[in-house]
Amino acid sequence: MHPDKWPEIKEKILKNFTVLNQEIITDDQRQETREIVEFKGPSGTMKVEWITRAKIIDKKTQYSRRIGSAVSVDYIYSADEFTHALKVYLWNEASADWQEINAQTLT
């Protein structure tokens, strides 16, 4: 989804539904920002996440051929390119957990 659409979607949610929780979570290690809005929707309690991450340019695997040695992966992130994702969840009372639903079917 194009990043210019997120403010429009967020505005519609804030205007039309009862907002239960709204927060922004930043993870500096993964260079990621999550903007979360929980609200009472037409299907019940829903959660929308807008995730912005730095684009991964390269990943380097460091390993040894010795038995029992560890493997580590170092990611190289872009400073000016980002990826965006929209995730929509519905609260499931039976399992007491969030169930992800396909955001494409909502539009």
Q: DSSP states of 31-45 as a string? A: TEEEEEEEEEETTEE
- 57 contacts 33 by C-beta, under 8 angstroms: no
Asked whether residue 103 carries a pLDDT value surpassing 70, the answer given is: no
Does pTM surpass 0.85? no
Residue 66 has pLDDT above 70, yes or no: yes
CA 55 from centroid of its chain's CA atoms = 14
- Mean pLDDT across 94-99: 90
